Amino acid sequence: MIRTAAVVGTGLIGTSAGLALSRRGVRVHLLDIDEAAARVAAARGAGVFGPPAERVDLAVIAVPPTRVAQVVAQQQRLGLAHAYTDVASVKSPATLAVADAAVQDSSYVGGHPMAGSERSGPLAARADLFEGRTWVLTPGARTSSAALNRTLAAVSLCGAVPVVMEPSAHDRAVALVSHAPHLVATLMAARLGDASREALALAGQGVRDVIRVSGGDAALWTDIIRSNAPAVAEILGELMKDLEALTGALNALEVSAPAPEDALGAVRELLRRGRDGWEAVYEPGGAPGQVTLTVPLADRPGEVDRLIDAAQGAGVCPDGIDLCWSQGSSELSARLAAPPLTAESVRRTLADGGWRVSVAATPS
């Protein structure tokens, strides 16, 4: 258990961590080279402005990846905390740098909460930002059990699900699911910069969804991409091959009548692969570690809407709800995907609503 903490860096993630920990009774101290940001975070209830009078249980270093080691070493020399973790989205460089620079690397646990927003700064922070989200931890060979336990306690208080990974495995994974997608969204957004007013007037939710993350802080994302450049380049290299094949197929379709089947087949195959990837992310219960709740539905008007309202009220994401029809039993049922930490709460809520719920965990 932790009773005191410090957050160094009061942007979106740092302030959100302060809000979440403060809400659970932890006394949080807020520090930032930008005093205005720290004071705004304090005004929002994320903690108190300024350093503590004595060592806190845990310091959360919420600065860009290339600054993590420097800040950890600096705060260790000042005796800020008994244990230190960070929230940087690239782990290998930070882990190596901390090992070289830290006063005592046994007190450091690498971390990365898989949560965020296209908005930045303390005003964008939310106490529930980490609820049910994965929080990766990358303890080193010399990390003490005390430091790891303090970090795990903080992750739990923030409502997140801890997952331990090797730093290099983490960096390869986030290159695929976060960093490369951010650049792809940015490339598409850059195409829109010179678009006519007539074209932009037609922009609907689809294109807004595609470019949403490109609204993030450019300086921060430059630091992130720089820190994970080789892994991101590998993903983009594979994407480039797909783009070249797709461009060739589209050019063939433009000049040929009737359309050549091989060109149509190439487009169709890419769209099929895209659908497979979409299902891997969005299908309920598809993500490792998720808990699937199955609920038989009575055949009466309004039952589906009532269940959806109850599930969403219990914190289930709309994308985590699926309806299934069984030909054998002539029964409609709902499948709901929930993170392990919130699954029992969701089950109780649905049971209190009169539904019969069965639970199954998705293998990791």
175-193 residue pLDDT tens = 999 999 999 999 999 999 8
Looking at residue 286, its pLDDT comes to 52
Read out DSSP for 75-121?
Answer: HHHHT-EEEEEE--S--HHHHHHHHHH-S-GGGEEEEEES---S--S
Average pLDDT score over residue span 65-72 = 92
In percent, how much of the chain has pLDDT > 90? Answer: 51
Give whole-number Cα distances, 335 to 119, 161, 315, 332, in Å: 32, 21, 14, 10
In percent, how much of the chain has pLDDT > 70? Answer: 94
Q: Does the pLDDT at position 224 exceed 60?
A: yes
Q: Would you call 57 helix, strand, or coil by DSSP?
A: strand
Of the given ranges (12-16, 220-224, 298-302), which has the lowest mean pLDDT? 298-302
Of the given ranges (19-28, 165-174, 224-233, 284-293), which has the lowest mean pLDDT? 284-293
List, for residues 345-361, the tens digit of each pLDDT value: 888 889 998 899 988 75
The model's confidence at residue 364, banded by pLDDT at 50, 70 and 90, is very low
Average pLDDT score over residue span 87-112 = 87
Can you tell me the distance from the alpha carbon of 92 to that of 100, in angstroms, rounded to the nearest whole number? 13
Of the given ranges (98-102, 202-206, 326-330), which has the lowest mean pLDDT? 326-330
List, for residues 120-171, the tens digit of each pLDDT value: 889 999 999 998 889 999 998 889 999 999 999 999 999 998 999 999 999 9
In the predicted model, what is the mean pLDDT of the chain?
Answer: 88
Average pLDDT score over residue span 294-312 = 86
Give whole-number Cα distances, 347 to 152, 203, 336, 338, 363, in Å: 25, 40, 10, 10, 19
Can you tell me the distance from the alpha carbon of 176 to that of 326, in angstroms, rounded to the nearest whole number? 36
Q: Does the pLDDT at position 287 exceed 80?
A: no
Give whole-number Cα distances, 301 to 154, 296, 305, 306, in Å: 44, 14, 9, 10
Closest-CA residue to 138 (of 92, 77, 177, 190): 92
Tokens representing residue 337 in the block: 């995907």
Of the given ranges (7-11, 94-98, 256-260), which has the lowest mean pLDDT? 256-260
Looking at residue 283, its pLDDT comes to 65
List, for residues 236-280, the tens digit of each pLDDT value: 999 999 999 999 999 888 766 677 888 888 899 999 988 888 877
Sign of CA dihedral 80, 223, 188, 266: negative
Q: Does the pLDDT at position 284 exceed 70?
A: no
Looking at residue 289, its pLDDT comes to 60
Q: Would you call 2 helix, strand, or coil by DSSP?
A: coil
Q: Which is more confidently placed, 287 or 301?
A: 301
Average pLDDT score over residue span 299-315 = 85
Q: Does the pLDDT at position 44 exceed 90?
A: yes
Looking at residue 260, its pLDDT comes to 82
Can you tell me the distance from the alpha carbon of 358 to that of 42, in angstroms, rounded to the nearest whole number? 43
Q: Which residues contact 128 (CB under 8 A, 6 or more apart)?
A: 20, 159
